Structure formats: C-alpha cells, structure tokens
C-alpha cells in the first residue's frame, strides 16, 4: 500500500481499535462481497445450473457453476427434508435444510456422489482438496411458508414480510481454508480471483442465494401446479441470504493480527485519501448525496430486538437526521469537504454514525479506493518469526505502543479478568465463560493479548534493556506469543484491539460486527451478546443478471421513484 | 486418509499446548510440523513422538542454558526450545556455527533452521551426527533414513541443495500418530457442562423464525 500523497493522516490505532468503534463499523466499497461482484462483472463471468435434481418433497441436489476467465467454481447443493424440531442455528446442530460445498472446477458424477455421502454430514463428513468450502443453511420457516403458499396460490408474496425477514434461508456456518479436509487457502491464494480475503466464502453464498430462490420456486410449483406464480424478480431482488454467526468467529480477529490490520489499515488509508481531497466535483457530491439517501432507506429497514442494538439504532437514526441537516447547510463545494464533514461528525455523531459516514464518503471515489483491495490479504507469513536480536528495551517499547493503557491495570481484579475464552470438548468451538464461576481457567485460550502483554512487560523488567530478547525468551517461553505479537505490531499497527477482551463488560458482539462489516454484511441483529444474525446480498443482482452497472452499489436500495 | 495442512497445524498446536508447552511454542511446533509435512516428511509422527517423551514437565532440564557456547543441558535438548532459539538467534550464524549436544527428535530442528535460512537469505547445512541436511528455507535435501536422535548437532551457513522435490499440499499421518496428537489436544478442551452449553455459546432464544 503506497502513500498516495495523502496529507490528512490515517486515524490512529488508539482511536480506531477500540471495541466500541470496531463494533460500529459498516460495510464499504472495500467489503468482500462487493469486491467479488465487481470483479465477476468486470471479468464477464458466466453462470449456469447444470444440475437441478430436486424431488417433490424438496430433497435432491443441484449444481451452480460460475465460470471465470481462467477457472470455474461450482456450488454443489443438497436439499433436505428437515423435521422442525431439528432446525437449529447452533453449532451443535447435526441436520439442516440445505448443505453445500464449493467445488474447485466442475464436478463429475463421481464427485457429486462422493459429496452426497459427506456434505450433508457437515463436520462429521470429510471433503477433499477439490473443495474450497463447506456450509449449510436453514429456512426462515415463516417467510419460506409464506412465499411458497403465496406463489402456489398464484400470487406474489407480501413485500412487507420480505423486508421484515430479509432472507429465505440463513447459513449457520461457512467453513473455508482446509476445514474438514478442504483445500488450504495457501493452495489457491495466488489466484487473482481468490487472493482477496474470503472470496471463496462470498462466492459460495452468492451462488447459494440463487439456489434458494430456485428451490422456493420449485416447492411452490410442486404445491400449486400449473397456476403457480413465478416469483417476481423485483421481489426476489430483496431476498438476501441470512447468516447466523456465533462466538466462534470472534477470536478470528485476535488470532490474525496481520490480516485484521490489513483490513483496517486499508479502510483507514481509503478514508485518509478522501479526506485529503481539497475539493469535490458536483458529480461526486451528488453521488454521495444519493448514496446517503439510499443508505438511510436501508437503515430504516434495519430491525433488532436486542437492547444494545436498539439503542445503537436509535443513535444511528438521530445521526442520519443530523447528517441530513448538515448536508442542507453544507453543499460540499468548500475546501476539503470530506475532511470537514468527518471532523464535524466526530463532534456531533455517535460511533455508529461516524463510521457510517466514513464508509459513505468512499463511494464516489472508486478510482482512488478500489485498488487498495489488493492489500487486504496477509502475504507476510514470515512475520511470525521472532527477531531475537531485538533488544529487551525495544520489545518493551513496542508493548507500550500497543498496550500502554493495559500496563497499569490490576489484572488480578475480578472485573478485569472475569471472562475466559476456552474450547469446549463437545464441539471444539471457542466459547467464553465466567472465570470465577465455571471450571474453565485451566483451559484458557490465549485471547487476552493485553493481559499477556502486561505480564511480559513486567517479566522483562528484571532484564537489561540492552539484552537481546532471545535471552529473555530462552528462559521465559511463556511470553513467546506475546513478543511475536509485539514485533508484528511494527508492521501491523492496527492489529491489536485496544480494549480488554476478558473484562466483565466485554461484548463479543463488537468483534463479530467488526469482522462481518468487512464481509459487507448489513442489518446486524444480535440475538444475545454472543451471536448475531445478518443479511448478505439483499438487493444484489442474481448471477444471470450481474452487470458492471449493478455489481457495486446494490447494497444501497434504490429510492422509490 | 489425507488431511489439509491447516488441519494438521491446528491439531498440532492444540496437542503441543496439551503436552504442557507454552502457547508460543505450540504455535511454532504446529508450523514446524506443517513445514515437515510440506516436505513430504512425517510431521505428525515426529511431533507425536516428541510429545510422548514428556519433556515439557521439566523444561529447564531440556533447554539450552545459555545462548553463547554449545547449546546443552542436563537432559536431552527439546527441539521446541532449541529450535525457536535457533530461529531467534539466526544472526549468530554470521559469525560462526551453532553447536548442540544431545537433541531429542532432532528433525524438528529443521523447520527452525529453515526460518533462519530465510532470514539470512543463505542456505544452511545441518549435521545431525553423521547425517548431513541442507535447507534453503523453502526446501530441504534429506538423507534416508532420517536420524531419530542426535548426540551432536552442528549448524552452519552454506551447502548445496541436491534433489529438488515438489512441496506437498496434504498431510498423510499414521492413524496412531493422529490419535496421539488428538489425545494431547484433548487436554486443552474444557469438559462440556449444561451451563456452558447454554451460556458459553450464547443460545437461549429460539432459532426458528
């Protein structure tokens, strides 16, 4: 990522890397779904459905193939007849309405038979290096039934109900990179279409959405026969794919400091580039105003019953009103219009509103921003290697740089270490528990880098500042992971969360939201402080309709004429 | 059965932690096992064999006592202490060779020597008793059979890679070694309780809508 002659600096990690702000991030031009749809449209990908073999009970298989310039990828989908009592989003579920694998290429009959023996079992099955992801989805029973019944009766479903739920199926896990035998990311990361983060997973969900639309039509056709209505494409357009994301995803951003740094650093660089523009053309200002209005419409459809999100949504709605009033006063023709707008937002808006605005100001400037997407993967495997020649004094300095705030905290106080992250025997998934109420402390995962940094900092006190850190680590291997992170922070200033991840008040939702915002998710709907539902691809073109005109701004609903 | 290298790495990390090593060493052991598997070597078996020796219960007996001078201790050196130290201290190889005495599972030193080779941008020759191995950081030329112990280890810059072999993308562990790694990994898992089932993953509301 090269300096772009920017003179408004990126925001500091101290400002950006707080959990409350990370938990207020919104999608933007750099989000992984939008990167994928832009690329597929630009490269003129073609899509086909070579197999759709689903019976009248809704059981069978289908294949959706996406053909890019050099390679093809196929979603292999299995539809099941799931008894209602088995329908659960939890990771402990063992049956689903539909299960999927993304196949690398075009599967043969033998591949499909092999996958049919394994994919429906999900974690209990095995896939191979021919597969790039494994996933499953459950129906929104209410909306599914409504749509099937309406179409079977020759009518269109009620748009209000579609807006309210947003999806016919939600994925409850999308496993990539080597999981359950799939190909490792390292095997495919040098392909341009896969190099950006999570492109495999985003493609899988994009194709899943087409399958779900086709399946609901099929089930309506079975029920309604010849008089069944065809789902109106303008209604289908608003159907996304839901996603339930649990606690298992939260540790990801702690465990991948280089990668997470790149996501945040790229967005910060994009914001800094736009803030540094000394003027905006009328056309650019107009794009921003349009996108703002469309974003406001999208927020008006955002529902949540969770008290934390309800409060955040209320603030966001006030923020939107304040932005609207600000835009009436400020016609964006003055000097540094975006910088002035952002500076104003920092005094006038909540973090939800500030971060929405930071995402929106990027929209008129694809030419300045989109190239940054190539810097979001982590290509520095060797940053893992510790530089033992570094002096103890330097290493302590790095820890102060990221964790100054944590060094004076009394880490023995219950409120500062009330929680512990552990892996459960049952499902081998990360969980978070109460250190002082459950027998979990001895199983604790290293997901409290601030506490660990504070301990390493103190342990180094008895070493001379001019000793090499290798000497310290020889005698204190328990601090190796911390020294490694501290050294990574030189290259990854946005790699460390500047908050306590085990405090009594930590909300894992903030970590989930930060990650999902980079996927491009919208309408976060927390179901507890540990899992959240979102919607993906609502408003996006379906594969057969993807064009360069509709590949990008689909995330913002069109305003009513 | 073949496993992805990510699966191997994830299990190796948990197993090493379960065997009593620090998290940092567990991270390094898992990358080391992965590196060996990518070379076509039995990373899972070599790591499982080391973990069975239980050296982590007395770490001080099994790590070099000082950086300068030959690396040795009262007991056999653990490659998960000597290896990371080698990687940390690659710069010492500019001024001479590094010698070690009595190393357990010495093949596990190789991934760390490879780290050093990449850091120095120079091939390294690793002598395990009479066996001579060369790595340029990415690949390695190895004798057959591989030594399972080394009373004397000598690492210096230089050496020519002989046959170039392609890197492997899958691990093929023996079932018994995989089971050993799983057994150690299991020690890191908290037993499930009804409370954690409900609280830990945050359910409690209906999933159906």
CA B150 vs. chain centroid, Å, equals 16
Per-residue pLDDT tens over the stretch A322-332: 999 999 998 89
Q: Give A-chain residues touching B72 at CB under 8 angstroms.
A: none
Considering only CB atoms, A386 lies closest to which of B22, B88, B196, namely B88
**Cα atoms found within 13 Å of the Cα of residue B141, Cβ hemisphere only:** 12
pLDDT at B205: 46
Does residue A87 carry a pLDDT above 90?
no
Stretch 3-62 of chain B: residues touching chain A, C-beta under 8 Å: 3-7, 14, 21-25, 27-28, 31, 59
The set of residues, in sequence order, having a beta carbon less than 8 Å from that of B82 and lying 6+ positions away, is B63, B64, B71, B100, B103, B109, B112
In chain B, what percentage of residues exceed pLDDT 90?
82
Q: Give A-chain residues touching B193 at CB under 8 angstroms.
A: 438
Please state, in angstroms and rounded to a whole number, the distance separating the CA atoms of residues A93 and A526: 20
How far is the alpha carbon of A439 from chain B, nearest alpha carbon, in Å?
8
Q: Give A-chain residues touching B25 at CB under 8 angstroms.
A: 477, 480
The set of residues, in sequence order, having a beta carbon less than 8 Å from that of A7 and lying 6+ positions away, is A276
Quick check: A481 contacting B, CB < 8 Å?
Answer: yes
Dihedral-angle region of residue A507 (phi above 0 means left; psi in -120 to 50 means alpha; beta otherwise): beta
Considering only CB atoms, B22 lies closest to which of A90, A177, A478, namely A478
What mean pLDDT comes out for the span B11-28? Answer: 98
Break chain A into its structural domains and give their ranges.
1-24+257-377, 32-246
Per-residue pLDDT tens over the stretch A136-183: 999 999 899 999 999 999 999 999 888 888 999 999 889 998 999 999
Q: Give B-chain residues touching A90 at CB under 8 angstroms.
A: 201, 203, 207
Q: Which pTM does this prediction carry?
A: 0.95
pLDDT at B198: 62
Query: Is B169–A184 a contact, with Cβ atoms under 8 angstroms apart?
Result: yes
The 3-state DSSP class for residue A502 equals coil
Does residue A2 carry a pLDDT above 70?
no
Query: Is B200–A140 a contact, with Cβ atoms under 8 angstroms apart?
Result: no
Best of A474, A475, A484 to substitute, by most chain B Cβ atoms within 10 angstroms, is: A474
Considering only CB atoms, B170 lies closest to which of A129, A180, A473, namely A129
Considering only CB atoms, A473 lies closest to which of B59, B88, B196, namely B88
Per-residue pLDDT tens over the stretch A379-415: 888 899 999 999 999 999 999 999 999 999 999 999 9
Please state, in angstroms and rounded to a whole number, the distance separating the CA atoms of residues A100 and A119: 6
Any bridge partners for residue A281, and if so which? none
Query: Is A425–B191 a contact, with Cβ atoms under 8 angstroms apart?
Result: yes
Stretch 164-183 of chain B: residues touching chain A, C-beta under 8 Å: 169-170
Considering only CB atoms, A183 lies closest to which of B4, B192, B207, namely B4
Any bridge partners for residue A54, and if so which? A60
Task: Give the model's confidence band at B204: pLDDT under 50 very low, under 70 low, under 90 confident, else very high.
Answer: very low
Stretch 377-396 of chain A: residues touching chain B, C-beta under 8 Å: 382, 384-389
Taking chain A, what is the end-to-end CA distance rounded to the nearest angstrom? 41
How many pairs of residues across A and B have Cβ atoms under 8 Å apart? 180
In chain A, what percentage of residues exceed pLDDT 70?
99
pLDDT at A425: 86
Considering only CB atoms, A481 lies closest to which of B27, B67, B89, namely B27
Which tokens belong to A194?
A: 């896969």
Q: Give A-chain residues touching B23 at CB under 8 angstroms.
A: 446, 478, 480-481
Please state, in angstroms and rounded to a whole number, the distance separating the CA atoms of residues A70 and A74: 14
Stretch 133-172 of chain A: residues touching chain B, C-beta under 8 Å: 138, 140-142, 165
The set of residues, in sequence order, having a beta carbon less than 8 Å from that of A83 and lying 6+ positions away, is none
Per-residue pLDDT tens over the stretch A479-537: 999 999 999 999 999 999 999 999 999 999 999 999 999 999 999 999 888 889 999 99
Stretch 68-107 of chain A: residues touching chain B, C-beta under 8 Å: 84, 87-92
pLDDT at B120: 96
Q: Give A-chain residues touching B170 at CB under 8 angstroms.
A: 129
Alpha helices by DSSP H, A43-174: 109-118, 141-152, 159-165
Residues A41, A23: contact at Cβ < 8 Å? no
């Amino acid at each position: 990522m090269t300096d772009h002659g920017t003179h408004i600096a990126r925001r500091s990690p101290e400002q950006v890397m707080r959990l409350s702000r990370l938990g207020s991030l919104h999608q933007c031009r750099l989000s992984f779904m939008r990167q994928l749809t832009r690329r597929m449209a630009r490269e003129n990908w073609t899509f086909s459905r070579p197999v759709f073999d689903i019976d009248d009970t809704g059981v069978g298989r289908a294949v959706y193939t996406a053909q890019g310039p050099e390679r093809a990828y196929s979603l292999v989908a299995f539809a099941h007849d799931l008894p209602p009592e088995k329908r659960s989003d939890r990771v402990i579920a063992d049956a689903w309405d539909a299960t999927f694998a993304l196949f690398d290429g075009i599967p043969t009959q033998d591949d499909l038979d092999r996958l049919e023996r394994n994919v429906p079992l999900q974690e209990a099955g095995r896939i191979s290096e021919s597969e790039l992801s494994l996933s499953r989805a459950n129906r929104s029973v209410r909306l599914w039934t409504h749509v099937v019944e309406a179409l079977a009766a020759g009518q269109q479903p009620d748009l209000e109900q579609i807006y309210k739920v947003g999806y016919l199926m939600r994925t409850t896990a999308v496993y990539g990179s080597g999981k359950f035998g799939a190909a490792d990311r390292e095997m495919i990361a040098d392909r341009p279409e896969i190099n950006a983060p999570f492109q495999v997973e985003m493609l899988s969900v994009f194709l899943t959405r087409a399958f779900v639309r086709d399946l609901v039509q099929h089930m309506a056709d079975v029920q309604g026969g010849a008089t069944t209505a065809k789902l109106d494409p303008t209604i289908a357009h608003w159907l996304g794919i839901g996603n339930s994301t649990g606690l298992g995803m939260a540790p990801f951003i702690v465990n991948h400091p280089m990668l997470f740094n790149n996501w945040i650093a790229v967005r910060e660089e994009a914001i800094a580039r736009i803030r540094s523009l000394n003027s905006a053309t009328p056309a650019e200002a107009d794009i921003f105003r349009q996108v703002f209005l469309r974003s406001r419409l999208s927020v008006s459809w955002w529902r949540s019953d969770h008290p934390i999100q309800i409060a955040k949504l209320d603030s966001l709605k006030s923020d939107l009103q304040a932005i609207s009033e600000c835009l009436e006063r400020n016609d964006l023709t003055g000097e540094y219009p975006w910088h002035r707008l952002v500076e104003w937002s920092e005094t006038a808006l909540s973090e939800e509103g500030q971060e929405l605005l930071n995402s929106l100001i990027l929209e008129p400037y694809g030419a300045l921003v989109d190239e940054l997407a190539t810097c979001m993967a982590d290509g520095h495997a060797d940053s893992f290697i510790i530089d033992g020649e570094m002096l103890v004094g330097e290493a302590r300095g790095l820890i102060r740089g990221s964790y100054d705030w944590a060094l004076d905290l009394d880490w023995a106080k219950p409120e500062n270490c009330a929680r512990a992250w552990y892996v459960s025997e049952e499902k081998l998934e990360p969980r978070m528990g109460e250190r002082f109420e459950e027998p979990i402390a001895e199983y604790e995962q290293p997901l409290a880098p601030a506490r660990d940094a504070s301990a390493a900092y103190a342990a180094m006190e008895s070493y001379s500042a001019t000793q090499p850190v290798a000497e310290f680590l020889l005698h204190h291997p328990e601090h190796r992971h911390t020294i490694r992170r501290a050294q990574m922070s030189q290259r990854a200033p946005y790699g460390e969360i500047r908050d306590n991840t085990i405090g009594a008040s930590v909300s894992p939702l903030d970590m989930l939201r930060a990650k999902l915002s980079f996927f491009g998710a919208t309408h976060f709907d927390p179901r507890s402080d540990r899992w959240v539902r979102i919607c993906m691809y609502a408003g996006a073109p379906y594969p057969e309709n993807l064009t360069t005109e509709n590949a990008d701004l689909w995330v913002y609903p069109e305003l009513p004429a | 059965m073949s496993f992805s290298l990510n699966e191997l790495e994830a299990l190796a990390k948990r197993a090493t932690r379960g065997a009593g090593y620090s998290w940092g060493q567990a991270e390094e052991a898992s990358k080391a096992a992965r590196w060996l598997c990518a070379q076509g070597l039995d990373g899972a078996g070599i790591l499982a064999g080391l973990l069975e020796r239980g050296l982590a219960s007395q770490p001080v007996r099994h790590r070099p006592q000082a950086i300068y001078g030959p690396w040795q201790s009262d007991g056999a050196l653990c490659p998960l202490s000597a290896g990371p130290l080698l990687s940390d201290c690659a710069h010492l190889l500019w001024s001479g060779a590094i010698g070690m005495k009595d190393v357990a599972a010495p093949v596990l030193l190789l991934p760390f020597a490879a780290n050093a080779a990449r850091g120095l941008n120079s091939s390294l020759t690793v002598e395990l008793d009479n066996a001579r191995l060369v790595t340029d950081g990415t690949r390695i030329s190895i004798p057959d059979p591989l030594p399972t112990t080394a009373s004397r280890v000598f690492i210096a810059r230089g050496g020519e890679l002989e046959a170039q072999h392609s890197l492997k993308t899958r691990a093929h562990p023996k079932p018994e070694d995989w089971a050993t790694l799983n057994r150690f990994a299991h020690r890191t898992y908290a037993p499930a309780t009804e409370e954690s089932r409900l609280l830990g993953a945050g359910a409690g509301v209906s999933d159906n809508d």
